[in-house]
Each structure stands twice: as C-alpha cells, then as structure tokens.
Amino acid sequence: MPTIIQKGDTFFAQKGAYFDGNVKIEGNFIVPAHTHFWGHLTVTGTLELGPRSSVALDVNCWSAIIGSQSRIKGRLVAHGDVTLLDHAMAHSVHAGGKVILRPGVIVGDVTSDDTIIIHGRIKSGKLMGRNMKVIGN
C-alpha cells in the first residue's frame, strides 16, 4: 500500500499513488493529482481529491472538493458541502450541504439538502435541492 503521511488530523497521499481495495481515513484527506483508488473511499473529515484522480467505487465523506478532470465512478455521499471542479465526473451526488458544480462537470442525479449552484454548462441527471442558482451559461 502506498505511503500515507499524517500531520495532526490530516492525512496526505503520495502523488500518483494507486490504492488497491477499500480505503478508510479517520480525519481529513488531501489527495494530490493523478492518485487512484480501486475500491471504496471513506473519509470522516474533508476530502480534497486532486486533479485527474479517480475512485472506482463509492465515496463517503463529511465534505468534498473534487479536483478538475477527476472521476468518481460510484456515488459521492457527503454530510456537508460538495464542490465538483471543472470537467470532474461523478455517477451521482448526495449532499447534506451546498453542491457547487463548475463548468464542464458531468454528473448523474444530484440531491442537496441545501442549495445547488451551477457555474456554466454541465451535463447532469435530475437536480434536487432546496434552492437552485445558475451562474453563466
């Protein structure tokens, strides 16, 4: 298994690492670009998934920032806020907080207990939130 460095309650993965199987992190997890997970990813804190990274199955976390051109092939479930940056992909998103979708995002159904904010053009399934804001075209 690749090295994970811990500093306080935050964990850092190696750039370009491959994680075979399920990964559970008790705390925050900062994942650099080009890092790949072949199973489920569970993070009890905030997940920052770097650009061009991927997760083969579901992601469960407290909150998430998904880097540009990253792919989550399963469901993304968060208790708090979720941001999908430019050209990120996810099978579906369920968030307890706000969901921000940046230009070029491709996502299935999105459910938010708060507001869904869309910046620019995206491709999506159903969008279900308390409020909806569209910024740009």
Segment 117-127 shows an average pLDDT of 97
How confident is the model over 66-74, as a mean pLDDT? 98
How far does Cα 83 stand from its chain's mean position?
Answer: 7
* pTM exceeds 0.85: yes
Across 93-127, b (16+ Cβ under 10 Å) vs e yields bbbbebbbbbbbbebeebbbeeebbbbeebebeeb
| 28, 11 Cβ separation under 8 angstroms | yes
Is residue 2 predicted with pLDDT exceeding 80? no
Given a contact cutoff of 8 angstroms between Cβ atoms, the answer to whether 131 and 113 are in contact is no
Residue 1: the pLDDT is 59
Average pLDDT score over residue span 89-118: 98
